[in-house]
């Protein structure tokens, strides 16, 4: 049986996450167009030319660019319709998704530090859907 497009995008996001240097949270994201072609893939990491002290969890948070932002930088507004993330987007990434016209966001893991993203997604009419790994994928 073939995997769904949502699962396909999530697996591409997971491949992207493998590029992250962040020892605390490796996050990946993938944007699909309406024809299900890949518009962009990104992972959380340092801005180009910037060194991050990855040993300090708190100071790295101030400097890291989120996977969603890195995936969306390859996309023109309204080019993508689906964003798949290994971690539920934070409120800033939901705002970024809305700016780019994303209508659906699928994610693997719940991001418990920022519950406001759920309310923003509703307000912005973005379908936010949790799609955890199946038992056979673990």
d(CA 4, CA 27): 21
Catalytic residue status for 25: no
Tokens of 72: 């969306």
Of 21, 68, 79, 119, the catalytic one is 68
Within 8 A by CB and 6+ apart from 24, the residues are 57, 60
Q: Are 39 and 32 in contact (CB under 8 A)?
A: yes
Q: Where in the sequence numbering do the catalytic residues fall?
A: 68
């Amino acid at each position: 049986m073939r995997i769904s497009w949502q699962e396909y995008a999530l697996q591409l996001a997971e491949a992207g996450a493998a590029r992250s240097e962040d020892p605390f949270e490796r996050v990946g994201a993938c944007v699909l167009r309406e024809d299900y072609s890949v518009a962009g893939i990104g992972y959380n990491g340092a801005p180009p030319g910037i060194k991050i002290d990855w040993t300090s969890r708190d100071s790295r948070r101030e400097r890291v660019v989120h996977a969603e932002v890195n995936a969306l930088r390859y996309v023109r507004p309204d080019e993508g319709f689906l964003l798949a993330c290994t971690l539920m987007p934070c409120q800033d990434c939901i705002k970024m998704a809305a700016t780019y016209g994303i209508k659906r966001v699928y994610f693997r893991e719940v991001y418990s530090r920022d519950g406001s993203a759920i309310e923003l997604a509703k307000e912005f009419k973005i379908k936010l859907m949790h799609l955890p790994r199946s038992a056979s994928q673990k």
